[in-house]
Structure 1
């Protein structure tokens, strides 16, 4: 892979879940538009975080990239290889490199297996034999993610939710986001460098999300709190034009008739893209930084 080839290249990624109805013949009467045309890249050594409200498509995106779900449309390329519709045999050589940490840390851990067995399992399946053996490496991984290596023989129910999530992290490697993509109703509405996006959010939805982040310290100047009205629309019948317009305080008729493209907005740093006809112009009051403390992150 050349220096210019992204590690992961996602283009037009779409997943629509069919809705069946009718009697006596069941036919497709609609679709849940869970993910609807995502475009992004991830460079080698970089991490990209997906944020958004529940139901925006984050988990579905993860399942599509890890090929736990079959895409409806679009393309997924990993290390220059098209894996969009790769079968199990074709995915076998790279399966250990593309994995997912599930949101529910308890449901993703086998309650009948010890932590040592859970973390060493992928090594055994993929024929990985680290120096010193599996147990030594597992204990090292436990320590890396902030757990006691002596927890090797404990079972999942003996850990807190945060600790269980770190056990899931210990099955790959812990990263913090270099860039952040904000999703709303199956689409990316803003993407950019983490610091630039937090300090200068251009999409109204991003600004609203950041305004709800708890204050890090009492010494900081209070930030505005934007309270969104209404509920997230149904992905079965999303709004025309800009999908956020039904909850946006800046929406006009143009927002109802034209879907804004994800583009570079004047004043943004290179690579900071926004999908909004009327992007925000004022920087936010300083927002709290993401903690690098394992306890806080969990």
Structure 2
């Protein structure tokens, strides 16, 4: 894999800098952050980046480092700029701790608005037993070099959504079999597969897995729908610390009804391990068909 000319280390990456939270003096469990415009799609801050920000605050507040399961409800769209995260430790045990958090911003009228609410259980992924029994197959897709990225966009088309600052910060290559929507030929199956990494070459950890599950184009595009697909709820299960190298991600939607769709994700590392799973509920785009 040669998608980055230099490799950032943990703590040295733009992702680490942009998810860093600052404990507020005199207010235990409260953290300030300036949400970076670098992780936006159009004007909205990416939901995976937001989840990583709140998860980092909970990591600081709880006695364990790794989220095992984390669920977010997105109440209103977040915007770049100042935000406050208020955490609460619900239970702190020897091997597992639980907490909740809210991310809030101030609106144009000076009122505090809650953007998202999160509940999570934390532990130590490195201390989990080695016994693995899974019937889930790794996604079948071409090698990294044989998949397509933004530079492969046909004239007048784009294999990734619109003008997105997020695309400058990730290394994303899609399986051509799930990129037909970019040239007006969606498969209609509701599938999306691709290789994912951070553009500066930083290896993955638990926090970047939270970004990964929400970084591919939405499966709605493969269903022939274009437009914004806002997440209402996202739950992520983390199963292991990923091995170095790019991740393989498979997204699937099996049901779109009532203007809502689910999106199931599996994330596999270079050691062929299923390291994360997620499900999110999102609003379907209001546009009726791909161009």
Greater strand content: 2
Greater helix content: 1
TM over 0.5: no
Name which one, 1 or 2, has greater alpha-carbon Rg.
1
Which of the five TM-score ranges fits, normalised by the shorter chain? Answer: under 0.3
